[in-house]
Amino acid sequence: MADIDSRIELGLNPYPVTNPELIPAQRYYDEAYFKAESEAVWGHSWQMATRLERIPNLGDWTEYTILDKSVLVVNTKDGIKAFHNHCRHRGVPVAGGKGNEHGNCAKSGFICPFHGWRWNMDGDCTFVYGKQLFSQDLLEAEELKLRPVRCETFGGEAYINFDDSAPPLREWLGPIADALDARLMSDMRAEWHYGAVLPANWKIAMEAFQEGYHVMKTHPQLQHAQPSLYNARYGNDTGGLGPLINPNLDVKGNIAECIQSMELLSAGMAGLVHAKEVEIARKFADVDLPADPVQAMPMWYGIVQDAISKELKARGENVPDLNKVSQEHPVEALQFLFPNHFGLNYFTGMTTYRIRPLGPETCLFEIWSLTHMAPGTECPVPMEPIILPYDSKDFPQIPQQDYSNIPIQQRGLHSTGFEYMRLSKDREGLISNNHRVIDALIAKKPWDKITAATQKLAYNFDGPILELDL
């Protein structure tokens, strides 16, 4: 223990990953490791702070919190800005203070609830009560400004970074930004927003979504609906005709299997496959196609994607040409935006996750269901998450099933004799690769190496352990 304490004092990593297939269990609960990790990750990474539809008007603001830090994200006449949320007098938050609050400061500005000092939306101090009581050198305009936080926008979201030396957001994201732009992510809007506090380390909560290897047992309805997909990817069925083709079924049977899978994904998580997309796909349950499923099924998916694009565009929705974007910007079913943001997509919509630590063994897990909406049909913006108990039956089915595993896995990590996670080098590589990027941040490796590694993680869902040059 003395050795670990001394390494922490030196800013070193007490539990580094030395074998990429073995992840030390202490990384999920040890207080000293959590402290080192938190400073490295949240002090230097780009993190999604809010969806932009929450702050559409001049002066709209929302509060983003990460551990002990509070940030105000504000819509100003010069674009979206962010500020550290503390009064320059005595440190009281000038707005919010409880996390996830919002309002508008266009007229009144920000007013400290303690002594009434005021700031405008650009962070300039506009009023100090009893100025004559202070030494004037303490009231210099530059000294009293709210301290800015780097803020950039992408995909209909605002991101913040506490490190002024970090690379720009688009450089951090890399090629995945172009792929999500091609899918018109910035035009998507939230239909709903859920949240839950999980009794688990934030990485445990994320790792359930960094691989699909758990589907057979955790989501049996998906496995049963389309066994050819999951068996070809994870099981011992290596002699099939392809991951989307069931060799035991004819073309009509394969189509029925695919539609059933879409229906289950839609019911289990609306943003994955929207009900309006399932409705369109059902129209093609019986179409004239070649008798050979190997030829027919790719053609069928092309027909369905073309129909979804055309029908939703005809309804006024700004959706992409799915066949075109699938060829020019192919992506996995899940994109991971380091350190804690996920996008899951199938056709035109998306489900997004954001997981934030609350402590070494607790986290806040949020889910958005995103879709394109025609002008005049937009639903009310969900201004804050509906917070439910993690075991609530009001969650969609898929999160319910995942949340049933996460808390008990956290408890299992404390078992005597459990020293390491043992990872599949072929399918659980994203878990290992993510940990090794965290280690690189703790070690203060050069930005070019860290950025190159984070970009690789975006396309690494269900992928292998990679050479990251860290």
Task: Reduce the secondary structure of the chain to three states and give it as a string.
Answer: CHHHHHHHHCCCCCCCCCECCEEEHHHHCCHHHHHHHHHHHHCCCCEEEEEHHHCCCCCEEEEEEECCEEEEEEEECCEEEEEECCCCCCCCCCCCCCCCCEEECCCCCEECCCCCCEECCCCCEEECCCHHHCCHHHHCHHHHCCCEEEEEEECCEEEEECCCCCCCHHHHHCHHHHHHHHCCHHHCEEEEEEEEEECCCHHHHHHCCCCCCCHHHHCHHHHHHCHHHHHHHHCCCCCCCCCCCCCCCCHHHHHHHHHHHHHHHHHHCCCCCCHHHHHHHHCCCCCCCCCCHHHHHHHHHHHHHHHHHHHHHHCCCCCCCHHHHHHHCCCCCEEEECCCEEEECCCCCEEEEEEEEEECCEEEEEEEEEECCCCCCCCCCCCCCEECCCCCCCCCHHHHHHHHHHHHHHHHCCCCCCCEEECCCCCCHHHHHHHHHHHHHHCCCCHHHHHHHHHHHCCCCCCCCCCCCC
Domains of the chain plus CATH, in order, are 47-161 (2.102.10.10)
285-308 average pLDDT score:
95
How many whole angstroms separate alpha carbon 53 and alpha carbon 72? Answer: 15
pLDDT value of position 239: 46
pLDDT band at 240 (very low <50, low <70, confident <90, very high): very low
pLDDT band at 396 (very low <50, low <70, confident <90, very high): confident
Instruction: Say how many Å lie between the first and final Cα of the chain, rounded.
Output: 27
pLDDT band at 11 (very low <50, low <70, confident <90, very high): low
∠ CA 97-100-106 to the nearest 5 degrees?
75
235-257 average pLDDT score:
75
Per-residue HEC secondary structure of 123-163 comes to CCEEECCCHHHCCHHHHCHHHHCCCEEEEEEECCEEEEECC
Does the pLDDT of residue 305 top 90, yes or no?
Answer: yes
Does the pLDDT of residue 332 top 90, yes or no?
Answer: no
Does the pLDDT of residue 78 top 50, yes or no?
Answer: yes
% of the chain at pLDDT higher than 70? 96
How many whole angstroms separate alpha carbon 395 and alpha carbon 401? Answer: 10
- Mutual orientation of helices 275-282 and 251-268 as an angle, nearest 10°? 170
pLDDT band at 247 (very low <50, low <70, confident <90, very high): confident
58-66 average pLDDT score:
97
pLDDT band at 333 (very low <50, low <70, confident <90, very high): confident
At which residue do the structure tokens 């809007």 appear?
Answer: 189
Residue 288's φ and ψ, nearest 5 degrees, are -80, 110
Instruction: Confirm if 159 and 153 have CB atoms less than 8 A apart.
Output: yes
pLDDT value of position 241: 47
40-53 average pLDDT score:
98
* C-alpha torsion 110→114→115→117, nearest 10: -20
- Average pLDDT of the chain, as a whole number: 93
How many whole angstroms separate alpha carbon 211 and alpha carbon 424? Answer: 10
pLDDT value of position 243: 58
pLDDT value of position 267: 85
Q: Give residue 285's identity as a one-letter amino acid code.
A: A
153-158 average pLDDT score:
98
Indicate whether this model's pTM tops 0.85.
yes
pLDDT value of position 64: 97
Q: Which of 64-73, 239-248, 405-414 has the lowest mean pLDDT?
A: 239-248
Does the pLDDT of residue 357 top 90, yes or no?
Answer: yes
